[in-house]
A and B are shown apart, each in its own frame.
Chain A
Amino acid sequence: MNKVVKDAYQAIKGATDNMIMMFGGFGLCGIPENSLKVLAESGIRGLTCISNNAGIDNFGLGVLLRDKQMKKMIASYVGENKEFERQFLSGELEVDLIPQGTLAERIRAGGAGIPAFYVPAGYGTEVAQGKETREYNGKMHLLETALTADFAFVKAKYGDYSGNLIYNATANNFNNMMAMAGKITIAEVEELVPTGELDPNKIHTPGVFVQRIFQGADYEKRIEFETTR
């Protein structure tokens, strides 16, 4: 099945105000740069964004903050972004902070058809407020619910026309689960190849989870903290 669209502009067709959107990446590593850029240009607003982090000023998810397109951010860690900080402190932006492993699992569960599950993370902390608790194996757990999205934007190193994806190094991070959790999942890749050219043994995300795929362009792949010996 050919899922290829021409570019990011074609890929975001149907994206409208007030949608829930997921964005793969950890910091600036493995983020869907092309889709983010085009979403910023589109002017759609009122978005609920689910991503581990919120990017930096004017890059990554930061591009959606410039014109206040984001209504709510769901993340585990949101440092390194002054405009985010300003909108958060002024109350313009609603922020829901979630333990990282719980966030990853809520997204995985969303894609896997599991409505809720118990985890120990956050028990006895403010994260537990309003949540059902239950003891298993002598340990207290919190009931956490699944997350899904209207659109999930992911980025991979390689992809084929059928939507099969292969990530590079730690650029996999949240991309694999988010691909599963999107009603419409849009994959942008550094190298798009015809179906049949990727080794089935190496596929990380099977194409069934991906609805649209395109060859990305002009990747900046910025480094947040370049650290050398």
Chain B
Amino acid sequence: MALDKNGIAKRIAQELKDGYYVNLGIGIPTLVANYIPQGMEVTLQSENGLLGIGPFPEKGNADADLINAGKQTITTTSGAAFFDSATSFAMIRGGHIDLTVLGAFEISENGDIASWKIPGKLVKGMGGAMDLVASAKNIIVATTHTNRKGESKLLKNCTLPLTGVNCVKRIVTDMAVIDVTSEGFKLIEKAPGVSVEEIQKATEGKLIVEGDIPEMKF
């Protein structure tokens, strides 16, 4: 059985380390916040200008002046800090954020990512995605392995307009954990009940399989 969205988020949460500053994109990445291991201190950054994103507010307590990068009302954690958007991207561009998790339409075997524009559809803009992928120390892509039509999202070359080049380090999908290496996609773990053959079939780009591939542990 391939993982659901929460399963992907849960597996990505295993990549977190104590003391990490993390930027989570919209969609599956946001769910990672629900699985931060107990006792681990992870500070979430919102690129509009906040370090220390807390849970959504209680009903009736939403504050128009306190939102995340998805423009949702939020709260802050103890020890949070506010700043302007230039300072926020200084944190990102300057390599002060340890991990960025974001979604994607396509990823190529050399680590290119396409995530912001589908020609023929309305273009809304890249927001902070291009800045994040160009500068983050570590980038994990959270995505389904295939799109709604069943086509692979892990390609030899991206076909859609790029967000960044040679930047993705690791991909966590509903089927597998895959690293981007200089030789291509390298299979690291498979989702419970998913076979290497199924992963191979769902991966258009070059997939390197070395030895026994362990199953993800939860």
Contact = CB atoms under 8 A, between A and B. Distances in A.
Interface string B119-139: 000111111111100110000
The DSSP consensus for interface residues of chain B is loop
B5 interface: no
Interface residues of A, number: 54
A77 B126 CA distance: 6
Given A101-B89, A108-B86, A120-B134, A76 B125 contact: yes
Given A77-B126, A126-B161, A169-B66, A177 B85 contact: yes
Interface string B71-89: 1111010000011111011
A171 B86 contact: no
Interface in A122-137: 122-127
B163 interface: yes
Contacts of B149: none
Q: How large is the interface on B (under 10, 10 to 19, 20 to 34, 35 or more residues)?
A: 35 or more
Contacts, number: 176
B89 to A, nearest CB: 3
Contact of A104 (B55, B72, B85): B85
B162 interface: yes
Contacts of B76: 169
Contact of B85 (A89, A100, A124, A125): A100
Interface of B: 46-50, 55-68, 70-74, 76, 82-86, 88-89, 92-93, 112, 122-131, 134-135, 161-166
8 contacts: A28-B71, A79-B125, A101-B92, A125-B165, A127-B126, A225-B70, A227-B56, A229-B59
